[in-house]
Amino acid sequence: MLDRLKAEISFHEKMFFATLAVILALTGWAFENYLTVSVWVLVLVMIALFCAIAFGVWNYKQIKMLLWEH
């Protein structure tokens, strides 16, 4: 039971940090290329950024829930 809990926390932790990397990469790309790409591409990037932030928040809540559960 404890090993399963550790593995699940580790998985969500890795997903959280991967999401942070995606957020930073999308933000950096948008700031670097906002003058040369079309508005639609920037809108898609902002939608992807919003989804990544929502996924990161969900992962953070999962980690907190797993830590407080036991």
Q: What does 3-58 look like in DSSP terms, one character per residue?
A: HHHHHHHHHHHHHHHHHHHHHHHHHHHHHHHTTTS-HHHHHHHHHHHHHHHHHHHH
pLDDT (tens digit per residue) in 34-43: 999 999 999 9
pTM, two decimal places: 0.86
What share of the chain in percent tops pLDDT 90?
Answer: 93
A 10 A CB-CB count for 69 gives: 7
